[in-house]
Amino acid sequence: MTTIAFIGLGIMGLPMSKNLVQAGHKVVGYNRSPQKVEELVSAGGTGASAIAEAVAEADVIATMVPDSPDVEAVVSGPEGVFANAKDGALWIDFSSIRPDVSARLADDAREAGVRPLDAPVSGGEPGAIDGVLSIMVGGEAADFAEAGPVFDAVGKTIVHVGPSGAGQTVKAANQLIVAVNIQALAEAVTFLEAYGVDTDAALKVLGGGLAGSKVLDQKGQKMLDRNFDPGFRLELHNKDLGIVTSAAREAGVVVPLGSAVAQLVSALVARGDGALDHSGLFKLATELSGRDGA
């Protein structure tokens, strides 16, 4: 049994922490909202009232927070992870943040005697609940191997993709692919509805051919049902697409489709739809065609 501090018990973090409990680990959770901590305690975990308390005896420290500044706030300062973790503890950052920030924080972690792994995930809330997330990991190979039991409890496809920061780079590519796929699906459903096609039947046959994808499987029905309860919020995908476009510019890479979808996502967030699931791109696709996407 490993003692794991889990910081950030949101849509993804809470089910992931519960799966770690079910796998037999001792999990100490911290979250700014105490209600989430209580849910973890009800599932067999332990709660902490501060980050320093959560990490004090932890062999592994997991963080799952929204953005680069949030990760920095959690790990830095006298009350943060680095100042209070045991020497040699593993730090697994499941958050999706900028690759350059991830690499810099990895250096800070090593200076503090903490072994860092950046391990952003894909699969959304359903994948977190079912423990079948795809996890792309950057860091030292030996640390990746040691963290295997933790990854196995929350994920299914787990790959070491390179040194610190590499996991975040691969996640940025993932978010580019997902966003463009969701937009294409939104346009396709709008097109099908305009012609009065049986959309349930259409998505079934499309899903069995080359057009099939996990995006179609997981987001198609949400669009048909106009159900945009968040599995992954538009405001978070907006943040991720900002990472993609910025990193692409730095690398001298052109991402025209990604940039266009980034603007559409940004428009939805700007008008107040940031809390919707990213399948909410369908709303804008239909409205641009003068149809009802609500």
Domains of the chain: 3-162 (3.40.50.720), 170-288 (1.10.1040.10)
Averaged pLDDT, 187-209: 98
Q: What is the maximal distance between C-alpha atoms in the chain?
A: 63
Kindly report, residue by residue over 213-238, the tens digit of the pLDDT.
999 999 999 999 999 999 899 999 99
Which residue is catalytic, options 36, 171, 219, 283? 171
User: Does residue 171 have an active-site annotation?
Assistant: yes
Kindly report, residue by residue over 242-280, the tens digit of the pLDDT.
999 999 999 999 999 999 999 999 999 999 999 999 999
Stated pTM of the model: 0.91
pLDDT at 1 over 70: no
CA 55/CA 26 separation, integer angstroms: 12
